[in-house]
A and B are shown apart, each in its own frame.
Chain A
Amino acid sequence: MAEPILSVVDLRTWYHTEEGVVRAVDGASFEVFPGRTLGIVGESGCGKSVTARSILRIVERPGRIEGGRILLRRREPDGSERVVDLVRLDPRGREMRQIRGGEIGLVFQEPMTSLSAYHTIGNQLVEAIRLHMPLSRAEARARAIDLLRMVGVPRPDQRIDAYSFELSGGLRQRVMIALALAAEPRILLADEPTTALDVTTQAQILDLVRRLQGERGLAVVLITHDMGVIAEMADEVVVMYLGRAVERGPVDVIFHEPAHPYTRALLRSIPSVLARPRERLATITGSIPHPYSRPPGCPFHPRCESFVPGRCDRAVPAETRLGPRHVVACFLHGEASAETPH
């Protein structure tokens, strides 16, 4: 496989609130490759969205990146490549602004709130294009129409003058994707891009992302809570729980040979169209702890079937490599990490 275009190494993003420190992301590592899709999956509070915000350097106060590296392979004008650590960049600086929306395109869950209601979609596209490319207004408008056509917006030459509220949810998400692709990014970062959509519209949008990826060799980072969408789209998967990447590996390994008790339990508890009618679901006991009362040791231990008292609740398990690309953080498979328990 080619070299990764983006490597996240032991990322830690904490929120310093009056009630205490929330370790929203507390040790997440993964790699993103050109032409492939990395799925980040987890339930609420697992840190998947904060991971995305950290990569883009848009973590808002009182949040702060406390440690780790986010290494982006950038293409220089002369064609050579250079690795930049995004953690070291000024979030408001010129280089980060070039990267955000330039090399990394963004798609969010709710296009209604991400698109402006005061400007036509054409104006927003033209602005995004001209921010990253030296084009005149007329050239940028022509490119905007091309982009809308490419993402499957019917009658793009007319729709370009529409406002976002005049479009259906599916069309708004297509416009959002056009906007994300305006500056020819090499990475598409999509945070729950189809969660607000109906299933048939979701199928259309997932199809579109797959087609664009094939055409452009995009690296896609797909963040979702939906294991079905992950199974459908991802090449590699990172499973997160309470801020930690507990397991990562190729999609087939994650679904068919999961090693972490959380991954296993999560997969068993998903309702499926393949189930027998009225079939009871396997459950995970308890609920996701409140971020202020994060359990010590392995954060999953209070809900874990394989919990070993005195071990799982004392120390944080280190990442253990089970296969060439399969990594798990669990005492069933490895030792404690060097870090001090909290």
Chain B
Amino acid sequence: MSATAEPILEVEGLKKYFPIRKGLLRRVVGQVRAVDDVSFAIAPGETLSLVGESGCGKTTTARCILRALRPTAGSIRFRTEEGRMIDVANLSRGELHPLRRRMQMIFQDPFSSLNPRMTIADIIGEPLLVNGMRDARERRRRVAELLDMVQLPAAYMNRFPHAFSGGQRQRIGIARALALEPALVVADEPVSALDVSVQAQIVNLLLDLQDRLGLAYLFVAHDLSVVKHMSHRVAVMYVGKIVELAPTEPLFTRPLHPYTEALLSAVPVPDPRGRSKRIVLEGEVADPSRPPTGCAFHPRCRYAVERCRLEVPALREILPGRAVRCHRAEELELQAVAVPADRRVAARAS
């Protein structure tokens, strides 16, 4: 799936800097460049995942798009119901309101995002009420429909959140997000707090709902295994910038950025026969208030040359649909995910 055809969302040159203030006068002494020149697009029915380690700016990017934060610079063009593209980056609250129902959010911790004093019917029905569905009977009918969509019995609507398990609460969170028939759902680590056996159910549910409703997902996650199961395309972020953007399969089988390579290599493969020589990165993620000169990854990069220290690489499309922010992308032969020997045989046979 390509995002070039009629995207639902187009982000361009997005920046979010947080000032660092010091002293009695709270003078600005520096900037944390949490998001620093991020661009991507998402098509209807598509999942784009933002991946990276803590502090890479993936959550800040998501919050800017939902306008929970006001971006420092850049545009966030979002398609209206009528098909026009509107830049939401600088809209006021009032101007945003009619667009809000088209973009919804699913959170990591379903418990803290559900009000413990409200019944499930109230929690899921609230956005309906706020958006003008005054008739209580009609609302309950719609809540029942939404519960069915997330595979929960309609009878649950009179219960309170504490009566539910983590997985059920996440289903309730999803039902609420879908209440207003959004076109885009931003999901920030929606399964990372769940147990494995429940996580699988929620991943499948999200995939099914997308196929059925044509939703676009912006999926924010740190777990590359879950990302593999969810995404059409993946954007890897490092210190506020997208360093690689690619369709899912080639990103995993043929990474083009050394950071992607290291990230893939660090993921433990759930197979003892897959124990391999991994690339262990030295040092730590750079401080976004004092990013290194040139490419922010260069101090940890085993392929870095003089140029990487001096020049900030641009995000370049070097293969169709594949963009990478690395001076040496064309010449490097990077490692893919290590496939255990017996699986390689199995894959060839099938």
Contact = CB atoms under 8 A, between A and B. Distances in A.
Given A43-B197, A269-B197, A288 B165 contact: yes
Interface residues on chain B, size class: 35 or more
5 contacts: A43-B196, A228-B268, A231-B268, A272-B269, A275-B228
Interface stretch (B110-118, B229-237, B315-323): B229-237
Contacts of B275: 231-232
Contact of B199 (A206, A251, A271): A271
Contacts of B222: 198-199
B310 interface: no
A231 B228 contact: no
Nearest to B249: A277
Contacts of A202: 266, 268
B272 A252 contact: yes
Interface string B253-264: 000000000111
A272 B266 contact: no
Contacts of B198: 287-288
Contacts of B280: 200, 203-204, 207
Nearest to B168: A287
Interface in A252-282: 252, 255-256, 265-267, 269-282
A189 interface: no
Nearest to B210: A278
A281 B205 CA distance: 10
A227 B284 contact: no
Contact of A273 (B196, B197, B199, B228): B228
B154 interface: no
Contact of A280 (B167, B207, B225, B272): B207
A272 B200 CA distance: 11
B196 A228 contact: no
A278 B284 contact: no
A185 to B, nearest CB: 25
Interface of B: 53-54, 165-168, 195-201, 203-204, 207, 222-226, 228-232, 247-249, 252, 262-275, 278, 280-281, 284-285, 337, 339, 343
Contacts of B270: 227-228, 230-231, 255, 267, 270, 272
A267 B196 CA distance: 9
8 smallest A-B Cβ distances: which pairs? Answer: A228-B268, A198-B53, A281-B200, A277-B248, A43-B195, A271-B225, A203-B266, A284-B197
Interface in A136-176: 168-171
Contacts of B337: 273-274
A225 B248 CA distance: 26
Nearest to B205: A283
A230 B285 CA distance: 26
Contacts of A281: 200, 203-204, 229
Contacts of B201: 283
Contacts of A278: 207, 229-232, 248
Given A199-B53, A280-B207, 16 more contacts: A43-B196, A198-B285, A201-B284, A207-B278, A266-B196, A269-B200, A270-B200, A271-B223, A272-B228, A272-B269, A273-B269, A277-B228, A280-B229, A283-B204, A287-B197, A288-B195
A199 B263 contact: yes
A285 B70 CA distance: 42
Contacts of A283: 197, 200-201, 204
Contacts of A231: 268-272, 274-275
B268 A269 contact: no
A288 B228 contact: no
A226 interface: yes
A255 B225 CA distance: 18
Q: Which of B167, B226, B280 has the most CB of A within 10 A?
A: B280
Q: Which of A198, A201, A271 has the most CB of B within 10 A?
A: A271
A43 B265 CA distance: 25
A174 B265 CA distance: 21
Contacts of A199: 53, 222, 224, 263, 266-267
A273 B200 contact: no
A154 to B, nearest CB: 8
Contacts of A265: 197
A135 to B, nearest CB: 32
Contacts of A277: 228-229, 231-232, 247-249
A315 B6 CA distance: 60
B343 A274 contact: yes
Nearest to A268: B200
B203 to A, nearest CB: 6
A44 interface: yes
Output the residue of B199, B231, B268 with the most chain A CB within 10 A.
Answer: B268
Q: Give the residue among A207, A273, A303 with the most B Cβ atoms within 10 A.
A: A273
A6 interface: no
